[in-house]
Chains A and B, each alone.
Chain A
Amino acid sequence: MNSLANTLTLGLDESLQTHAVATVATWQTAVLGALLALMILALALEEKIHARKSIITGVFAVVALLLGTWFGCLPFDRLFIHLGGVDAHLPVYIPAIEWEVIAIIFGSSIFVDVTSQSGIFSWIAIRMTKLSKGDPLFLLIFYGLLTVLFSAVLNNVAAMIIIGSLTGVSLKRLGRERLLLGFLLIEGLLTNLGGLLTLISSVPNIIVGNTVGFSFVQFFLYASPYVLISTIVTIMLGAFIFKIAPLRGNEDKSQAAELVAGFDENDGIESVRFFWGSAVAFVFFIGALAGQSFIPLFDELGMGFVALLFATMMLTVFRSEVARFYSSLDWDLLFFFMGLFVVINVMEHGQVLHVLGGWISALVGEGGRMGSASLLGASAVASSVTDNIPLSAMLAKILAARSGETPDALWWSVVFGSNLGGNLTPIGSASTVVAVTIIHKYQISIGFMKFVRIAFPFAVIQIVLAIAYVLLLY
């Protein structure tokens, strides 16, 4: 190992890892800034322009690299590796990518995808349906809690797809289609709350957590009280607004119980061994992530390694089906990140983030109470109309580059704001888009303004609670 370390060492100029020092003309920064704004606009209009996220960031990454090279602000001369005594240049776009973030997303996506195909999440969802005995209020509470839990351990989109599909089928079975809009909307809004629960629940959490160095447990302990309170408030408000009441008469109760009793939770389980193996592996996965900062070797290798380790274990066990798991991986998301990180890196060297950082500093000041509240609110508004991933990635870079220590309240403001902003509009987050897609599938009309009108009170209450929570703790 030592000899290998002696012969293969990576050298990066300090300026690449912290701040760019190259002189960049103002007009060049303006051009790059305009390019960044265009990319954000293109990402917001992803559905309209019929282009995948990865294509959008890929195109902008290529253009940004060309412009950055032309403007002479990229540090080509400071990237090299010592390989057996020979200096080899490293492509400028390689260290631009946050590989730890990619490793976490790649590893956990494969792991979650393999385990979810065991039928374990459908099993849990159907068990909860039967436990509710078909009572609409209990069904809302159980589905709400499951949405939060699944969003926390899977991802928001997968959680919305699983719970949303079951909601459609079960409410139809119960003859309560009129409640579909309320259920699906509340679930959509809860996915973004669930996305706050753990460090790996959403990409902004991973980006910010990775930048600050939050441990899995630290993140969970901080976020969970807010998620719990906000979930209860959202469900209660939803039940009130959409008139989702418990069943009263015994006849109605027994009829509803009889209808949901027909659901067979074991139907989707193809292999009992796979099912239980996945359940056990999932517990260990969460345990390993929680203990990563204390477990020897893991503490040095990081969370990305833990995710890759579990993905490798699952792929080894189910090695004959590896092709299936690879094909279902969200390659678009991974290439999107790579392109995004390259764009942000160019923006960093082109002083765009420095300019934006100045604006953010004007907004947040020294990071006092008003500063945190303003940052949280502004992040929420920004992520309601555009992707929260570039937003959080940029803000993480900007906050990390601030002089002096950045108060934790500001980091949490970015996390809360970028996650919760998605609830303000139907295009604010991928999971609300899924919720609207399912709503449309059941021929329920919901346009942009109708969504905003219904979701606004929920989103505002969640954001106000988040501001109060951050201010209370800091």
Chain B
Amino acid sequence: MSDRRGRIDQFESVFKSADKPIFQLREIEFARILVVTDHSREESGRIVEQARAFLKLIDRPFGNDGRTPEWGLLTKEDFSSVDDCRHRIDEHQPDLVVAWRNLFDPVGASVYSLGVFVDELTQYLRPPVLLLPDPKLNVPSAEIETVMVVTNHLTGEDRLVNKGVRFTPPNGRLILSHLEDETIFDRYMNVIERIPEINSEVAREAIRRQLLKEPCDYISSCIEAIQSAGLSFEVDSMVEFGHGAADFKRIAEANSVDLMIFFTKDESQIAMHGMAYSLAVEIRNISLLML
């Protein structure tokens, strides 16, 4: 009987492994873009222009009627508190919010946080928040060339990849990255090594292989869909074991990434989830699109 259960389980594993999420390419347009800055209205002109230049790819006519995105601006004169800021943003109903790290941060460019405004905005707002580097660092690229989608669970995340596709220019480069946390893996393997019924070596190899196979399969379906749609940018896959934010930072810097895209919201908590926060805090000179 246990043999039969074992064989049922074996075939179920075969079929579950064969059941792969397929990437569905979706058109994404940003009809309303809202820039939020802590500068005065007069001072904001230059940085708004910088942002528009950076977002040239999405700042173009769309839809059947050829509408162009509507740009809005909230400056320090428009709100006085976080709560006030949230209400004002809600009134605009934006599809994308553009802001800077350490927005309205009284201590200036804090090294260990994003500042209370950005923390609140990224978690409260439904639309994605594009966080540009501190203008004083004078680092934003003039235009986006290389986009990197960042996650430790890429498989089936169409929303994330579609955003990456939307921000990657023709002849640009889209990096789909998936980093399996080596520390967590080692912790589980330490437990498995203490269970006599499980062959540790077989388990280590099989689990490792399967963990990397799933995102690789999904990326293959992304590449297929992107090529079928006639999009002309390059798509690269970076699937490996690593140690969270530090390795993502290394990959991003090694590939001269202009924009990193990742999820920040976690359904089970109101605060930004761990890896997203580390990334957002540590990567200061690359623009971040936070979903």
Give the B-binding residues of A (Cβ under 8 A).
47, 119, 122, 125-126, 157, 161-162, 164-166, 168-170, 173, 258, 261-265, 267-268, 433-434, 437-438, 441
Contact check, A169 vs B5: say whether CB atoms are below 8 A apart: no
- Nearest CB of chain A from residue B99's CB, rounded to whole Å: 37
Whether B20 lies near A169 (C-beta < 8 A) is no
Please determine whether B22 and A261 come into contact, CB atoms closer than 8 angstroms. yes
B111 at the interface (CB under 8 A from A): no
CA distance in complex: A357, B40 (Å): 106
Instruction: Point out the residues of chain A lying under 8 angstroms from B15, CB to CB.
Output: 122, 125-126, 165-166, 169-170, 263
In angstroms, Cα B17 to Cα A157, docked, is 22
Q: Which residues of A contact B22 (CB under 8 A)?
A: 258, 261-262
**Is B14 touching A268 in the complex (CB atoms < 8 A)?**
yes
Of the candidates B1, B12, B14, the one having the most CB atoms from chain A within 10 angstroms of its own CB is B14
In the complex the two chains form, what is the Cα distance from A170 to B16 in whole Å? Answer: 9
Within 8 A of A (CB), among B6-45: 7-8, 11-12, 14-22, 24
28 A–B contacts, CB within 8 A, in A order: A119-B14, A122-B11, A122-B15, A122-B18, A126-B15, A157-B4, A161-B7, A161-B11, A164-B8, A165-B8, A165-B11, A165-B15, A166-B11, A169-B15, A262-B20, A262-B21, A262-B22, A263-B18, A263-B20, A264-B19, A264-B20, A264-B217, A268-B14, A268-B17, A268-B18, A434-B4, A437-B4, A441-B8
For the complex of A and B, the 9 pairs showing the least CB-CB separation, nearest first, are A165-B11, A267-B18, A169-B15, A165-B12, A262-B22, A268-B14, A166-B15, A264-B18, A262-B20
Decide if the interface of chain A is mainly helix, strand, loop or mixed.
Answer: helix
Q: Which residues of B contact A (CB under 8 A)?
A: 1, 4-5, 7-8, 11-12, 14-22, 24, 217
Q: How far is the CB of A358 from the nearest CB of chain B, in Å?
A: 38
**Which of chain A's residues have a CB closer than 8 A to the CB of B11?**
122, 161-162, 165-166
Residues of B within 8 A of A169 (CB): 12, 15-16, 19
Give the Cβ gap from B97 to chain A, nearest Cβ, in Å.
32
Q: Is the CB of B18 within 8 A of A265?
A: yes
Known: A162-B11, A165-B11, A264-B217. A437 touches B19 (CB 8 A): no
If A165-B14, A438-B8 are given as contacts, then 11 extra A-B residue pairs at C-beta distance below 8 Å, sorted by A number, are A122-B14, A126-B15, A165-B8, A165-B15, A169-B12, A169-B16, A262-B20, A267-B20, A268-B17, A437-B4, A441-B8
Inter-chain contacts of A261 with B (CB < 8 A)? 22
A119, A161, A162: residue with the most chain B Cβ atoms closer than 10 Å: A161
**Minimum Cβ distance to chain A for residue B155 (Å):** 11
Contact among A47, A162, A164, A263 for B19, CB-based, below 8 A: A263
**Chain B residues, CB < 8 A from A441:** 5, 8
A123, chain B: closest CB distance, angstroms:
9
* Residues of chain A lying within 8 A (CB to CB) of residue B5: 437, 441
- On chain A, the residues within 8 Å of B16 by CB distance are 169
CB proximity of A256 to chain B, nearest CB, Å: 14
Q: CA of A169 to CA of B14 in the docked complex: distance in angstroms? A: 10
The docked-state distance in angstroms from the alpha carbon of A413 to that of B211 is 53
Tell whether, in the assembled complex, residue B4 and residue A126 are in contact, meaning their CB atoms are under 8 Å apart.
no
Q: What is the bound-complex CA distance between A170 and B14, given in angstroms? A: 12
Chain B residues whose CB sits within 8 angstroms of the CB of A122 once the complex forms: 11, 14-15, 18
User: What is the bound-complex CA distance between A261 and B19, given in angstroms?
Assistant: 9
Are the CB atoms of A161 and B1 closer together than 8 Å?
no
Complexed CA–CA distance, A434 and B1 (Å): 9
Q: Which of B16, B18, B20 has the most CB of A within 10 A?
A: B18
CB distance from B161 to the nearest CB of A (A): 15
